[in-house]
Amino acid sequence: MRKDLLTNTMQPKKDLVRIVVNKEKEVSVDPTGKMPGRGAYVSLEPEKIAAAQKSGILERSLGAKIEASFYDELFQYVDHQKARKELFGDK
């Protein structure tokens, strides 16, 4: 179980995606959950991520500037994960 930064609720790790910032202040999606750096877990809901982009909560939590292109990458990852769940079920 991990705490979702966007909803402030505890959820299974498989229902969340980890966002990580490394020492060079580079922000990336961490699909394995094992990349080094400070991480934050967010839900796989596009509307929650859009709200996070608008409010800047990820930037404050990770202490790094997040470019709009990163949010595009995050939206693509979330869409892919949702499609996988629909295709293969909840594994």
Looking at residue 86, what is its pLDDT? 85
Contacts of 35 (CB under 8 A, 6+ apart): 18, 20, 22, 28
Q: In the chain, where are the structural domains located?
A: 2-88
- Residue 90: pLDDT over 70: no
Q: Distance of CA 39 to CAs 64, 73, 88, Å?
A: 12, 17, 27
Pick the CATH number of 2-88 from 3.30.1230.10, 3.20.20.140, 1.10.510.10, 3.40.50.300: 3.30.1230.10
Looking at residue 91, what is its pLDDT? 56
Looking at residues 57-68, what average pLDDT do you find? 94
Looking at residues 21-30, what average pLDDT do you find? 95
Output the six-digit token pair for 26: 């580079």
Contacts of 22 (CB under 8 A, 6+ apart): 28, 35, 36, 37
